[in-house]
């Protein structure tokens, strides 16, 4: 397994929709393991393949709670899609590994139903509420080329963009 480089804003790859996975082979399975290792190393609650420079509809989600002493656990979803969503949820202090040094309040759905395939190609259906639903929405947004900063006010987004330009000039 390997820790992969995380693609960060304003990289244009983050704004492009990801391609559907048509075959789950050893390359995809290795990518998933590397994505999980990268997510735990960062650390993050989820990671989309596009965030490590791979334009495929794959996400990994951290299922380890802060209280657990168990090994890091995760699940992977291939070609995930939100098929139902309802309720209102305010995700306070949402952040992203691809949008460093920035957190914001984002309006999300409280409950989502997601369909996908697992690493063996089996069909899955997940029904999640609250924070797990937010993580799924956030990561699936990545697959559609949407960052969480695309879901906040234009003013806050512009403030972050100016901050990034300053950082890039300082490099």
Segment among 25-39, 88-102, 137-151 with least mean pLDDT: 88-102
Q: Which CATH architecture has domain 12-169?
A: Alpha-Beta Complex (3.90)
| pLDDT band at 95; cut points 50, 70, 90 | very high
pLDDT digits (tens, 9 = 90+) for 105-130: 999 999 999 999 999 999 999 999 99
Annotated catalytic, 139?
yes
Question: Residue 22 phi/psi, 5° resolution?
Answer: -100, -20
| Average pLDDT value over all residues in the chain | 92
Domain locations along the chain:
12-169
| pLDDT band at 69; cut points 50, 70, 90 | very low
pLDDT digits (tens, 9 = 90+) for 14-59: 999 999 999 999 999 999 999 999 999 999 999 999 999 999 999 9
Pick the catalytic residue: 37, 94, 128, 139? 139
Reduced 3-state DSSP string for 88-127: CEEEEEEEECCEEEEEEEEEECCEEEEEEECCCCCEEEEE
């Amino acid at each position: 397994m390997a820790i992969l480089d995380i693609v960060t804003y304003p990289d244009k790859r983050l704004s492009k929709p990801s391609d559907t996975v048509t075959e789950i082979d050893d390359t995809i399975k290795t990518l998933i393991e590397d994505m999980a290792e990268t997510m735990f190393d960062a650390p993050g609650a989820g990671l989309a393949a596009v965030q490590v420079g791979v334009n495929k509809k794959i996400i990994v989600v951290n299922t380890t709670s802060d209280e657990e002493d168990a090994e890091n656990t995760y699940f992977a979803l291939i070609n995930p899609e939100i098929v139902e969503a309802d309720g209102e949820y305010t995700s306070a202090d949402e952040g992203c590994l691809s949008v460093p040094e920035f957190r914001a309040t984002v309006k999300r759905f409280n409950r989502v139903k997601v369909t996908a395939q697992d690493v063996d190609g089996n069909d899955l259906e997940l029904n999640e509420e609250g924070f797990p639903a937010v993580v799924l929405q956030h990561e699936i947004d990545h697959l559609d080329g949407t960052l969480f900063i695309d879901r906040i006010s234009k003013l806050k987004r512009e403030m972050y963009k100016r901050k990034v330009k300053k950082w890039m000039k300082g490099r």
